[in-house]
Amino acid sequence: MDVQAATGTAPVGEDAAALVARLTAEKTEALARLAAGIAHELRNPLAVILARVQLLAIGLRSGKPLDPAKLEQTLRTVEEQAVRAAKIIEGLTVFARPRRPELGPVDLDETLGHVLGVVRARRGAELVRTDVEIADDARTVVADRAQLTTALTQLVVNALEAMPAGGVLSVRAARRDDRIELVVADTGPGVPAEHAPRIFDPFFSTKPAAAGLGLCVARTIAEAHGGGVRLVEPGRAGATFVLSLPARDG
């Protein structure tokens, strides 16, 4: 949507009725894209679950003993896909109805340590070297601990997914005037300039297995805190995202 549409002002020569019609059409188009994204992302895990359950039902009806190893693999696949669907729904909930942050002092050393500890269990994480640096004046931020953990996790996971063959994950935190900035950078291929305008759109992703909600969720949480998330210099090798928060007194 252009600036005139965002501010509700009509271009020269466009009357009020035409403006309303144009804004309605743009909103309808945006909702249609969102609905299509939801359908696409949920269809995949649900299709896998349905196929596995149908195969299991066929096996049970045959009267033959089920192979315990195959049964375990089937149940594991169903569980994995159910968890994937649940995460998509959780991300949508955060995006659509973000909870009001419950502010309090948050230790960044502890929070980042927790986030990195969790994501290190992901496949391929062992190929990535992690470099963390937190300035003394940014070791404590005033934020919602759970929400900030979620936002940082999304940014770190996004960085790891950009480096399947390995690389360097860099996390920096420092105070910039009246803001605390947390910088998450990777040495992956970077974000093409043509994708930059849509990088925070829900369900937009250039990664085949990604739901495309992580960056959207991170930005939604940051904005609920009075901050934001931005992409630095798209079109170059490596991607750098900056999550900024107001530097409040605890």
Q: Return the pLDDT at 185.
A: 95
> Within its chain, how far is the Cα of 43 from the centroid?
19
Residue 10 within any structural domain of the chain: no
What does DSSP say about strands 167-176 and 128-134: parallel, antiparallel, or unpaired? parallel
Strands (E), 76-127: 104-107
d(C-alpha 3, C-alpha 99), whole Å: 28
State whether the Cα torsion 161-34-42-85 is positive or negative: positive
For the cut 60, the answer to whether the pLDDT of residue 12 exceeds it is no
State whether the Cα torsion 204-77-115-42 is positive or negative: positive
Q: Return the pLDDT at 81.
A: 81
For the cut 70, the answer to whether the pLDDT of residue 166 exceeds it is yes
Q: 92 and 109 share a domain?
A: no
pLDDT of 106-140, one tens digit each?
999 999 998 998 888 777 788 899 999 999 999 99
Q: 57 and 180 share a domain?
A: no
Number of domains within the chain: 2
Q: 232 and 109 share a domain?
A: yes
CB atoms under 10 Å from CB of 151, counted, come to: 29
> Which of these three, 39, 72, 96, is where a domain ends?
96
For the cut 90, the answer to whether the pLDDT of residue 155 exceeds it is yes
Residue 151 within any structural domain of the chain: yes
Q: Which of 177-186, 228-237, 238-247 has the lowest mean pLDDT?
A: 228-237
Q: 111 and 216 share a domain?
A: yes
Q: 80 and 199 share a domain?
A: no
**138: nearest Cα among 167, 161, 172:** 172
Residue 135 within any structural domain of the chain: yes
Tokens at 19, concatenated: 């403006």
Contacts of 94 (CB under 8 A, 6+ apart): 150, 217, 220, 221
Tokens at 245, concatenated: 């928060």
For the residues of 47-71, what is the DSSP string, one character each? HHHHHHHHHHHHHHHHTSPPPHHHH
Residue 195 within any structural domain of the chain: yes
- Residue 61: give the domain boundaries: 16-96
pLDDT of 21-47, one tens digit each?
766 766 666 556 666 666 656 777 788
Q: 145 and 213 share a domain?
A: yes
Residue 84 within any structural domain of the chain: yes
Q: 54 and 114 share a domain?
A: no
Q: 193 and 173 share a domain?
A: yes
pLDDT of 51-103, one tens digit each?
888 888 888 888 888 888 888 888 888 888 887 777 767 766 666 666 788 99
CB 52 within 8 A of CB 74: yes
Q: What is the CATH number of the domain that holds 87?
A: 1.10.287.130
Q: Return the pLDDT at 8.
A: 47
Q: Return the pLDDT at 126.
A: 87
Share of the chain above pLDDT 70, in %: 77
Q: What is the CATH number of the domain that holds 194?
A: 3.30.565.10
CB 123 within 8 A of CB 193: no
Q: 113 and 32 share a domain?
A: no
Residue 72 within any structural domain of the chain: yes
Residue 21 within any structural domain of the chain: yes
Q: 47 and 64 share a domain?
A: yes
Mean of pLDDT over the chain: 82
Residue 132 within any structural domain of the chain: yes
d(C-alpha 246, C-alpha 141), whole Å: 9
> Which of these three, 74, 96, 118, is where a domain ends?
96
Q: 119 and 157 share a domain?
A: yes
Q: 154 and 210 share a domain?
A: yes
pTM for the structure as a whole: 0.65
For the cut 70, the answer to whether the pLDDT of residue 150 exceeds it is yes
> Which of these three, 52, 80, 96, is where a domain ends?
96
